[in-house]
Structure 1
Amino acid sequence: MSEAPYVLPPTWPGDPSSLTDEVDERALLETELIHAGMVWDLRRDTVDLGDGQTVRREFVQHPGAVGVLALDDHDRVLLIRQYRHPVGMSLWEPVAGLLDVADESPQAGAARELVEEAGLVAARWDVLVDLENSPGGSSETIRCYLARDLAPAPGGRPPGDGEERDLPVAWVPLEEAVLAVLAGRLTAPLTVAATLAALAARSAGWSTLRAADAAWPARERVAGSGRARIYRSS
């Protein structure tokens, strides 16, 4: 019995410098809500891949989120220690929160979270990095802002609830935060993405930063499929 021939993956014919994640429409043959959760749901879809194959995929239906990497005048980033029950760990992370307030823009949500979790306001906001947190199993999309020109929020940080009752904070030099990520000491996905992106952006003289209201196509796509809520100006 001969072995199946080894198949090489196809080589992308375009210019590697122009790679862009794109909307890829596949026919949705069936969708089923398996579980309606407190924050997100579990859904099962049957999808036609367009080449004669049909697959069933289960995923977490997520409202989306924002993160805030707060950077002070000494190039230190603010990290917050928070208990995360699914992994049984307390992780050091930037400020972050769900986009679950109706008619609230992502930037407004990020500013609200910065007050609620850190008791800070920022006069300068830029988009640092966007990411799909776990695209093989969740529709969650995250936008992380770089917040600068910081000041204490009037009234300070409001009282928290649940895991947010006690949120120790640390101001960490950006380079030290990156080294901790590369050493495997800091592993939260937003911490990894945000600190590495900030170091790269700073090395480019912050020229890679985008306007705070820059288009966010991935979130619009997820919302368009009914998997998340989205701010709409109209």
Structure 2
Amino acid sequence: MAERSARDAGAGVPGAGAAPEAEAEAAPEAVPLADELAEVRVLESELLVRGRVWDVRRDRFEFGGEELVRDYLDHTGAVAVLALDAEERVLLIRQYRHPIAHRDWEIPAGLMDAPGEPGLAAAQRELAEEADLRAERWDLLLELFLSPGGTSEAMRIFLARELHPVAHDYVRGEEEAELVPRWVPLSEAVEAVLAGRVQNAVTASAVLAAWTARGRGWDTLRDPELPWTAREAARGERSR
């Protein structure tokens, strides 16, 4: 964070040296809180590793009058689905994840790895493949950058309701071959997250967002087909 000036570092902090006029002028509470797309000039983007699922790149770019170099996972993006049945139970799936040496509880999710496939279509496909379900009602629940300091991965989490069983010809292999599904009351899932028994970031985010949305009469839900501008920006070609 070296690019921040001392004045910036104290902005909005009472007694940090900013004049009252400056604080009034900024009026941060009057500006909607939102991430901001940054226009940064990439001078060079080098492919370091071509992976099975994602790549590792090294970018050289201009920022704050300096030339910086950063390595990161170049990720295609992903979708996830919080399936909620008529009894307000959510579908969780236990799956082995080698990097963390755990079988964790997850919601159905998958990569945006089919060229040209919209996020909603990918979510519908994942729900069928991992849970043998289809949904009549879809809403956009949440959008995330999962680890923006090290990966370009953007994720959309959808809320799926009015569920029905569906047949498909997808064959689960590798870790997916031993998936264990479990229907859990939403309130119980919230307690498991807050108690630290469920630590998957996507599951935790989805469960807490759904609980909050439910408490507000679902008025936070959005159109599932909204343009996915955050992923488009993260997947920009830059200087490649």
- Tell me if structure 1 keeps the 8 A contact 2:152–2:235: no
Give 1:61's aligned residue.
74
Give 2:198's aligned residue.
186
- Tell me if structure 2 keeps the 8 A contact 1:121–1:152: yes
Give 2:181's aligned residue.
169
RMSD, aligned α-carbons: 1.8
Question: Following TM superposition, by how much is the alpha carbon of 1:224 offset from its aligned partner in structure 2, in angstroms?
Answer: 2.2
- Tell me if structure 2 keeps the 8 A contact 1:129–1:145: yes
Q: Is it true that 1:31 corresponds to 2:50 in the alignment?
A: no
Give 1:40's aligned residue.
54
Give 1:84's aligned residue.
97
Q: Distance in 2 between matches of 1:57 and 1:138?
A: 11
Aligned amino acid, residue 138 of structure 2: W
Q: Distance in 2 between matches of 1:226 and 1:81?
A: 38
Give 2:132's aligned residue.
119
Q: Distance in 2 between matches of 1:32 and 1:90?
A: 35
Give 1:148's aligned residue.
161
Alignment of 1:201-212 (within 5 A): 201-212=213-224
TM-score of the pair, normalised by structure 2: 0.87
- Number of matched pairs: 220
- Tell me if structure 1 keeps the 8 A contact 2:42–2:238: no
Q: Distance in 2 between matches of 1:154 and 1:33?
A: 40
Question: Following TM superposition, by how much is the alpha carbon of 1:188 offset from its aligned partner in structure 2, in angstroms?
Answer: 0.6
Aligned amino acid, residue 207 of structure 2: T
Cα distance per residue 1:68-126 (max 9 Å; x no partner): 00000011100000111111111101000000011211111100000100000100000
- Tell me if structure 2 keeps the 8 A contact 1:46–1:57: yes
Q: Distance in 1 between matches of 2:139 and 2:101?
A: 32
TM-score of the pair, normalised by structure 1: 0.89
- Report % sequence identity: 47
Structure 2 residue runs of 5 or longer lacking an equivalent are 1-5, 13-25
- The secondary structure found in structure 1 opposite 2:151 is coil
Q: Distance in 2 between matches of 1:87 and 1:137?
A: 17
Structure 1 residue runs of 5 or longer lacking an equivalent are 1-6, 228-234
Pick closer, same or farther for the CA change 1:176–1:226 going to 2, 3 Å.
farther
Pick closer, same or farther for the CA change 1:214–1:63 going to 2, 3 Å.
same
Give 1:230's aligned residue.
none
Question: Following TM superposition, by how much is the alpha carbon of 1:15 offset from its aligned partner in structure 2, in angstroms?
Answer: 2.9
Pick closer, same or farther for the CA change 1:135–1:209 going to 2, 3 Å.
same
Q: Distance in 1 between matches of 2:185 and 2:156?
A: 22
